[in-house]
Amino acid sequence: MNVLGIDGGSQRLGYAVLKGDRQKPEIAEAGVIRPKGKTLCEKLCYIVADVSELLIEYQIETLSIETAFAGPHPRAVIVLAHIRGAIIGLVPALRLNQLPTLQVVEPTPGQVKSLVTGKQNASKQLMQQAIQWQFKLAKPPEPPDVADAIGIALWGMTVGVI
């Protein structure tokens, strides 16, 4: 099973590709996409191009993308919703052409943190440490968006797909 986890952001979007099975997932690739452009449309085009490439290159079966959550900054929530919409909007076209079995799961931040650390309100640092330990990494994933994306992909691999 190949899962792509996305931790959305307009300045830094964390992503992680996990391969393997639920008992022994492996990180195939993880990092951040730093959208280029001044306008939201330019940033969305950049994100969509990079995410499309990942979906096709790794023949992703499950896209696990964190749900948007209401925060203290309404504009940031709206921008995040646009990013999520653009990414999820790729799925119908890809199902018709390259990835007929592609499915989408949408965990909440609390679900991911609970799976990875056992605590729904875990800190970024605890997430990084838990991912480092679970995947036997030499150091915690940096920036924290990468650890979050790995956790989101792990949720899609272990819980989101039944």
What is the domain range of residue 22? Answer: 2-160
State the residue for tokens 């990468």: 146
pLDDT at position 160: 65
**145 is annotated as an active-site residue:** yes
Q: How far apart are CA 135 and CA 150, in angstroms?
A: 10
Q: Which of 29, 142, 145, 148 is catalytic?
A: 145
Q: What is the CATH number of the domain that holds 6?
A: 3.30.420.10
Number of domains in the chain: 1
The tens digit of pLDDT for each residue in 30-64 reads 999 999 888 999 999 999 999 999 999 999 999 99
**148 is annotated as an active-site residue:** no
**What's the mean per-residue pLDDT of the chain?**
93
Band of pLDDT at residue 161, cut at 50, 70 and 90: low
Kindly tell me if the per-residue pLDDT of 71 is higher than 80.
no
Q: Which of 26, 50, 66, 106 is catalytic?
A: 66
**50 is annotated as an active-site residue:** no
Contacts of 132 (CB under 8 A, 6+ apart): 139, 140, 141, 147
Kindly tell me if the per-residue pLDDT of 98 is higher than 80.
yes
The amino acid occupying position 102 is L
